[in-house]
Structure 1
Amino acid sequence: MTLSSFQADAARLGLTLVIAAFGGAVFHWLGLPAAWLSGAMVFVAVATLAGAPTLLPNRLRDALFVAIGISMGAGVRPDVVERVGEWPFSMALLVVVVVCVTLVGYMVLHFGAKWSRETAYFGAIPGALSYVIALATDRGADLPRIASSQSLRLFVLVAILPFAVVSSSGGIHGDGGAPLVSSLREILIGVPLCLVASWLAVKLRVPGGWMTGAFFMSAGLNASGLLTLVLPQYVVVPCFVMMGAMIGCRFANMTLRQFLSVLGASLAAFSAAFLTSIAGALLVSNLVDIPFGQALLAYAPGGLEVMTLLAFMLDLDPAFVAAHQIARFTGMVLLLPFVTGLVLGRRQTEEQ
């Protein structure tokens, strides 16, 4: 990287963070839930679609995931072991919900919006964008439509889920804060352990490895009572802002015309998929006796990192949400090639 390109990227990053911080501050001033995350996301997304040269480098993103993973682990209390018995039934129902979410999304995109079978199929799959794009490339599907549909789905989820969760629980107890305080000794011990866990998770190709490794190490330390690992708010809040900026930057490869062309179909498919997730969350909430908002975040067709972060910010159980999102992601990665072959048949190159 030349000096001029480095300076250009630094300027783009600075602009992105200024926009994100302003958006988060506006939403926080308005008293909206998950304000720093959703406000940053909305303002950066709008700026990106308007042509602003936004940027959040991958290395900064990885460091951000580690810090957020450590922070979310603070939401796991020593009684977490007692709640593990709630998970088997909800995990089983998760499989049914994922299949139904994909099916209703596919029907809307294929039969309603007249997308091709391949494009509708990959556009309806909930989450795992990078993996979905890789599979869709081999199938010759319409990649811009798929990326636009998937990005819009995550955007809408982050924009509306905090309101849905807060309205169902009657309020919010915090915005990612924690009443506990770590000593310097606990931070010096806990943070390196989380960094090692993240590195191992990435090497082992665990879904969302940078965040997942740090989260489960932090959660284990906090749940065991061995130490209290809580990052200060002056570290946590900027992380929320940068996470929002990262989601907003996903629209960088999309023109406003492309965005508008897929808007109607993507929103219709999202609405059908989200209603299906709500039905599954209502069922498991009543049968297992857990908060509806917690079940909704576990079943929501969104990204692992973002859904778990929202659980933490909205004072719900991040371990429950993370476990279900990881199970969904892992199952998709393992089964999607096989399921895709069954649904779409062999690739054209294989048929020739």
Structure 2
Amino acid sequence: MTWSGILRRVVVLVAIYVGALLFGLVAHWMRFPLPWMIGAIVFASTVRLADRPLPVPGQTRQIGQILVATSVGLSFTPEAVGAMGSLLIPMIGAAILTIGLGFVVAVFLVRVSHIDFISALLASIPMGPVESATLAVRHNVLPGPVVFAQTLRIMLLVILIPPAIVALDGTVKDPVAALSRMEWTVSGAALLAVTGVAGALAARAVRLANPFFVGSLGGAALAAALSLPITAYPYPLLVLAQVFLGVWLGGVFDRELLRRARGFIPGAVLASFLLIFLCGAMGVGLTWITDETWQVMLLSTAPGSVTEMALTAKILEDGLAVVTAFHVVRIFIILPFSSPIIALTARMAARWGA
């Protein structure tokens, strides 16, 4: 690439992130929780729906995940880890029940959208757009509608759930304050970053699912549990992480994706709301078993979007370790078993069809 080409690419990247920051500033002025992420999602999806390119490096998502995951890992102190021991069975039960709810929503999606059951199941079980698209190709169904449904649900979760919970909670006067006022030191923040990168590389080496979040979280959580001298990051770094993740998520939602999923859109919207409602009802029910607050359990059982739900718990200053642990347990149950679940379902569907 020539120097002029490099300069042009840098100018485009700067313009993209300046635009995302301006949208984030508006969301901040409107006192949204996670304003920089929500603003970046709206900006990026607007650009892509206008059929304009959004050439951002894939590494930005990885950087954003490492920054957020390590920030969340700070909450895994020895006291917090000890307190979560009694919640392991509810965590496993919630993960398994979420898979069951995915089947319920898939049946609904088949009825309203008239698609095959495998596509509906891949669209309904919360496993992430990339993982679901890979399984769609493996099982010879179109990945476009599946990616659309998974992305739509995550966007709805990010845009609707944090503002709704903060508003209903009523105790948070400034949604940004909990993130912006955390104490930090240069050495402590640098050590936190090192633990996160080391954890991410280790998780990638052993082929863990979602390594840049799960591995970074594990590295930071281990450092916190060992009482190493780690501290939070300066707030501008968390702003950067929100912008990186928001631009990536909004950028997936382009005109071509909408075109491929055109007849599928109404059903996907209804199915997303149905799964969010069912998982929310499960979360409220779990408050009776866990003695956690309804806010914590709603965030813990939200169908996807661990990064944003953990940040919302950080804003509420309540149950951050619990919310994160519920999501991590679900990730480690759903992702490894999603392929055999889909394969078994495909075989049963073929047998019934015959």
**TM norm structure 2:** 0.88
Q: In the alignment, which residue of structure 2 is the partner of 1:28? A: 28
Taking structure 1 as reference, are residues 104 and 9 closer, same or farther at Cα in structure 2, changes over 3 Å only?
farther
Q: In the alignment, which residue of structure 1 is the partner of 2:141? A: 141
> Does residue 1:186 correspond to 2:188, yes or no?
yes
Deviation at 1:76, TM superposition (A): 4.1
Structure 2 CA distance for aligned equivalents of residues 159 and 212 of structure 1: 23
Structure 2 CA distance for aligned equivalents of residues 252 and 7 of structure 1: 26
Q: In the alignment, which residue of structure 1 is the partner of 2:250? A: 248
Aligned Cα root-mean-square deviation (Å): 2.5
What is the letter of the counterpart of residue 139 of structure 1? Answer: H
What is the letter of the counterpart of residue 280 of structure 1? Answer: M
Q: In the alignment, which residue of structure 2 is the partner of 1:108? A: 108
Q: Report the secondary structure of 2:171's partner residue.
A: coil
What is the letter of the counterpart of residue 283 of structure 2? Answer: A
Structure 2 CA distance for aligned equivalents of residues 22 and 107 of structure 1: 41
- Matched ranges for 1:195-274 at <5 A: 195-252=197-254, 254-258=256-260, 261-274=263-276
Structure 1 CA distance for aligned equivalents of residues 322 and 288 of structure 2: 16
Name which of structure 1's ranges 232-241 and 217-226 shifts more when overlaid on structure 2. 217-226
Q: Report the secondary structure of 1:254's partner residue.
A: helix
What is the letter of the counterpart of residue 124 of structure 1? Answer: S
What is the letter of the counterpart of residue 99 of structure 2? Answer: V
What is the letter of the counterpart of residue 266 of structure 1? Answer: A
Q: Report the secondary structure of 2:279's partner residue.
A: helix
Answer whether contact 2:148 2:258 (CA < 8 A) is retained. Answer: no
Structure 2 CA distance for aligned equivalents of residues 55 and 311 of structure 1: 32
Deviation at 1:336, TM superposition (A): 2.0
Answer whether contact 1:27 1:35 (CA < 8 A) is retained. Answer: yes
Structure 2 CA distance for aligned equivalents of residues 89 and 341 of structure 1: 27
Answer whether contact 1:194 1:217 (CA < 8 A) is retained. Answer: yes
Structure 2 CA distance for aligned equivalents of residues 8 and 252 of structure 1: 23
Which of 330, 335, 342 is residue 333 of structure 1 equivalent to?
335
Name which of structure 1's ranges 175-184 and 105-114 shifts more when overlaid on structure 2. 175-184
> Does residue 1:158 correspond to 2:158, yes or no?
yes
> Does residue 1:318 correspond to 2:320, yes or no?
yes
Taking structure 1 as reference, are residues 4 and 285 closer, same or farther at Cα in structure 2, changes over 3 Å only?
farther
Structure 1 CA distance for aligned equivalents of residues 5 and 301 of structure 2: 42
Deviation at 1:63, TM superposition (A): 2.1
* Cα displacement string for residues 233-282 of structure 1 (whole angstroms, at most 9, x for unaligned residues): 12111211221111101113735544654331111101111111011100
Structure 1 CA distance for aligned equivalents of residues 276 and 25 of structure 2: 28
Structure 1 CA distance for aligned equivalents of residues 258 and 319 of structure 2: 37
State the identity as a percent: 21
Taking structure 1 as reference, are residues 347 and 319 closer, same or farther at Cα in structure 2, changes over 3 Å only?
same
Name which of structure 1's ranges 219-228 and 65-74 shifts more when overlaid on structure 2. 219-228
Q: In the alignment, which residue of structure 1 is the partner of 2:307? A: 305
Q: Report the secondary structure of 1:57's partner residue.
A: coil
What is the letter of the counterpart of residue 67 of structure 2? Answer: A
Runs of at least 5 residues in structure 1 that lack an aligned partner in the other structure: none
Deviation at 1:289, TM superposition (A): 1.2
- Matched ranges for 1:10-159 at <5 A: 10-77=10-77, 79-159=79-159
Answer whether contact 1:75 1:312 (CA < 8 A) is retained. Answer: no
Deviation at 1:227, TM superposition (A): 1.8
Name which of structure 1's ranges 157-166 and 81-90 shifts more when overlaid on structure 2. 81-90
Taking structure 1 as reference, are residues 124 and 184 closer, same or farther at Cα in structure 2, changes over 3 Å only?
closer
Answer whether contact 2:50 2:255 (CA < 8 A) is retained. Answer: no
Answer whether contact 2:162 2:309 (CA < 8 A) is retained. Answer: no
Runs of at least 5 residues in structure 2 that lack an aligned partner in the other structure: none
Structure 1 CA distance for aligned equivalents of residues 64 and 343 of structure 2: 36
Name which of structure 1's ranges 220-229 and 63-72 shifts more when overlaid on structure 2. 220-229
**TM norm structure 1:** 0.89
